[in-house]
Amino acid sequence: MIEEGSKRGKAMVEKRQLFMEMRAQNFDVIRLSTYRTACKLRFVQKRCNLHLVDVWNMIEAFRDNGLNTLDHNAEINVSRLETILSSIYYQLNKRLPTTHQINVEQSIGLLLNFIVATYDSESHGKLTVFSMKAMLATMCGGKIVDKLRYIFSQISDSSGIMVFAKFDQFLREVLKLPTAVFEGPSFGYTEHSVRTCFPQQKIMLNTFLDVLMADPPPQCLVWLPLMHRLANVENVFHPVECSYCRSESMMGFRYRCQQCHGYQLCQSCFWRGHANGPHSNQHQMKEHSSWKSPAKKLSHAISKSLGCVPIGEQPHPVFPEQAERPQELTHTVVLESPSRLDEEHRLIARYAARLAAEAGNSTQQCPPTDLSFNFDANKQQRQLIAELENKNREILQEIQRLRLEHEQASQPTPEKAQQNPTLLTELRLLRHRKDELERRMSALQESRRELMVQLEGLMRLLKDEEQKQTSQSGGSPHSSPSHGAGCSMPMPIRSTSAGSTPTHTPQDCLEGVGGDVLEAFAQGVPRNLRNDLLVAADSITNTMSSLVKELHSVDDGGEDDETNMRNGGDRGRSTGTMRVPKH
Ligand SMILES: [Zn+2]
Ligand SMILES: [Zn+2]
């Protein structure tokens, strides 16, 4: 059945379809080869739905298909490759909720054609096990550090030392990717590639990771970390106007000129080298991967206390970049919110919708003459606050539980198990469990953010009510202008339509939450209801804080364990700013 389905899919997909679609994206107008290459490969990755397959799932798939028993230089034919791809995508659909199923046949067709075009350009109908592993492990989803670890395991000897010839082979294979998307001139393989990456003689895992995740990374692989960073900022919304194309807002990276006051470019304009007015594209630009609302000082302070501040947004040379967050949760698997959370969300959404409807009616058509409306609304808001507080408590308990489970799950390490084949089955289960936990953490974090946003909306409504009351009862001096300002507060819109899987990293956990919530923190003489809201907001913030800490400790814990096992020493995380030299 799988065979039949994929054959149908293969027939459905034109051989050059992926490349034609890529050409239609017009990536070639991007002047910077690194960005151009990363954009093209990110496009291929998403079009083939590989971004939904975590690297750990990929490794499982290799094992399930018996590839780990084959020599790297063994050749497999295209129909076997097709079977492997089928199993990858059918397994993926099993993990996805029914509402987010992918088109398996089409994905197989597109990816198969891409792999064949990339690795079998002379149409032998065969490719090596190693080239397939290198390609899939590079192009799948997941953390870059996990990918690099896996690759190291494939190119090192039994004493954990990198075999140069194997790394050379890896470069040869992986650099076929930029070549396949017509970026060979910038990132093609040469026999000097290896030595430019590693002038040293003896390379262990830590050096390998340090070098490949350094700032800047080796020139030939500079597109790889960038592809991950692109994925991380894809859904970041900046409610500011681009100084060149005048679009009202931006998604992705935002670039701010260090010389021209208030000059900002969207990524599309910056990558294309656009400049106007007194600004020149030779000016130093700072790359931002997050947006801070006008109340940014306070927001920044809160973020800082939550450990959410991105590492160093320092000025860079001409085409700058910013640190990769090693804590990124790029498990871009669609999250299945547990039904309990769903229920609560629905409840909150219902309250919010009712409030919004009532407030909308009263503002737009008839001025509220009925004071009981306000009391009703206040009562509902109090109920809502109680709901939020309950939810906070539940999530805190959940975090506690997850933490315990994670501690148990992270005891054995992959290295250990590889030496002890009897542990493999157990390890597999544990890895699944770890992935599941991380996804759950991510889901929780997303819920927290949504709560904050909803709270902000409520507070804005509340403020509007207050102002209306004030203006009715005594003609406040600032009735209409400030009311208008309240309404124009940019709403944090995280595109859920652009991709079904927003990837929220800890640094943007407060993204877009600002405005009234933060303003309220700063106000001195709150009314009773505002007090309640503040307490709720505060408690949410605390929960966020512990959540962020948990997330970090989960990451730190897991990784350090593995590293220590292997090297018997502790190794600092590679948190240097990632920078791409200009071309
Ligand atoms: Zn623009
Ligand atoms: Zn400028």
Q: Per-residue pLDDT tens for 232-256?
A: 999 999 999 999 999 999 999 999 9
- The Å distance, Cα 25 to ligand 1 centre, comes to 16
pLDDT over threshold 90, residue 324: no
| Average pLDDT of the residues in 158-178 | 95
The 3-state secondary structure of 514-529 reads: CHHHHHHHHCCCCCHH
Cα 106 to its chain centre, rounded Å, is 25
- The Å distance, Cα 170 to ligand 2 centre, comes to 41
- The Å distance, Cα 281 to ligand 2 centre, comes to 7
- The Å distance, Cα 248 to ligand 1 centre, comes to 9
pLDDT over threshold 80, residue 203: yes
Q: What b/e readout covers 179-190, taking b as 16+ CB neighbours within 10 angstroms? A: bbbbbeebbebe
- Percent of the chain residues past pLDDT 90, beyond the cut: 43
User: Are 387 and 348 contacting, i.e. CB atoms less than 8 angstroms apart?
Assistant: yes
pLDDT over threshold 90, residue 142: yes
Ligand nearest to the CA of residue 241, numbered in listed order: 1
Q: Which pair of structure tokens corresponds to residue 328? A: 């990124």
Ligand nearest to the CA of residue 266, numbered in listed order: 1
Residue boundaries of the structural domains of the chain: 10-234, 237-291
CATH superfamily name and code, 10-234? EF-hand (1.10.238.10)
- The Å distance, Cα 275 to ligand 1 centre, comes to 10
Q: Which residue has the tokens 């931002």?
A: 288
| Average pLDDT of the residues in 525-532 | 54
- The Å distance, Cα 500 to ligand 1 centre, comes to 25
Q: Which pair of structure tokens corresponds to residue 571? A: 């190794």
- The Å distance, Cα 269 to ligand 2 centre, comes to 13
Q: Which pair of structure tokens corresponds to residue 116? A: 């064949």
| Average pLDDT of the residues in 160-177 | 96
- The Å distance, Cα 280 to ligand 1 centre, comes to 14
What's the pLDDT at 14? 80
Name the β-bridge partners of 54: 141
Ligand nearest to the CA of residue 273, numbered in listed order: 1
273-291, pLDDT tens digit by residue?
Answer: 999 999 998 999 999 998 8
pLDDT over threshold 90, residue 229: yes
What's the pLDDT at 120? 82
Ligand nearest to the CA of residue 265, numbered in listed order: 1
Handedness of CA 363, 369, 374, 376 (dihedral sign): negative
* 3-class secondary-structure state, position 168: helix
- The Å distance, Cα 319 to ligand 2 centre, comes to 13
Q: Name which residue leads in pLDDT, 161 or 369.
A: 161
- The Å distance, Cα 284 to ligand 1 centre, comes to 17
Taking CA atoms, 470 is separated from 10, 433, 466, 476, in Å, by 67, 55, 6, 6
Taking CA atoms, 353 is separated from 144, 365, 460, 503, in Å, by 41, 18, 13, 26
Give the C-alpha separation, 570 to 562, whole Å: 10
Give the C-alpha separation, 482 to 487, whole Å: 9
Least-confidence region, from 135-139, 149-153, 322-326: 322-326
Q: Name which residue leads in pLDDT, 441 or 582.
A: 441
What's the pLDDT at 124? 83
pLDDT band at 484 (very low <50, low <70, confident <90, very high): very low
- The Å distance, Cα 257 to ligand 1 centre, comes to 13
| Average pLDDT of the residues in 311-330 | 35
- The Å distance, Cα 171 to ligand 2 centre, comes to 38
Residues 6+ apart with CB under 8 A from 268: 245
pLDDT over threshold 50, residue 416: no
| Average pLDDT of the residues in 118-131 | 88
Task: Give the other-Cβ count within 10 Å of 398's Cβ.
Answer: 17
Q: Which pair of structure tokens corresponds to residue 567? A: 């090297």
Q: What b/e readout covers 2-41, taking b as 16+ CB neighbours within 10 angstroms? A: eeeebbebbeebeeebbbeebeeeebeebbbbbbbbbbbb
Q: Which of 62-66, 413-417, 495-499, 564-568 holds the top average pLDDT? A: 62-66
In 17-140, DSSP assigns E strands to 75-77, 126-128
Specify the CATH number of the domain 237-291.
3.30.60.90
Which run of H or of E encompasses 375?
helix 372-409
- The Å distance, Cα 21 to ligand 2 centre, comes to 34
Dihedral pair phi/psi, residue 257, rounded to 5°: -70, 140
User: Are 47 and 18 contacting, i.e. CB atoms less than 8 angstroms apart?
Assistant: yes
What's the pLDDT at 327? 32
- Percent of the chain residues past pLDDT 70, beyond the cut: 53
pLDDT over threshold 50, residue 507: no
pLDDT band at 533 (very low <50, low <70, confident <90, very high): low
Q: Is omega for the bond preceding 338 within 30 degrees of 0, making it cis?
A: no
Least-confidence region, from 165-179, 330-344, 384-398: 330-344
pTM of structure: 0.54
Ligand nearest to the CA of residue 256, numbered in listed order: 2
- The Å distance, Cα 250 to ligand 1 centre, comes to 8
| Average pLDDT of the residues in 389-402 | 70
User: Are 388 and 433 contacting, i.e. CB atoms less than 8 angstroms apart?
Assistant: no
- The Å distance, Cα 29 to ligand 1 centre, comes to 14
pLDDT over threshold 60, residue 341: no
pLDDT over threshold 80, residue 546: no
- The Å distance, Cα 235 to ligand 2 centre, comes to 26
Task: Give the other-Cβ count within 10 Å of 581's Cβ.
Answer: 12
What residues flank ion ligand 1 with Cβ within 5 A?
242, 244-245, 266, 269
Ligand nearest to the CA of residue 246, numbered in listed order: 1
On average, the pLDDT of the chain sits at: 72
| Average pLDDT of the residues in 133-137 | 96
Q: In what order do the strands lie in the sheet containing 285-288?
A: 264-266, 254-257, 285-288
pLDDT over threshold 50, residue 364: no
User: Are 574 and 209 contacting, i.e. CB atoms less than 8 angstroms apart?
Assistant: yes
User: 237-238 and 250-251: which strand pairing?
Assistant: antiparallel
Ligand nearest to the CA of residue 248, numbered in listed order: 1
Closest CA to 431 of 446, 411, 445: 411
Taking CA atoms, 297 is separated from 20, 300, 301, 304, 486, in Å, by 46, 5, 6, 10, 19
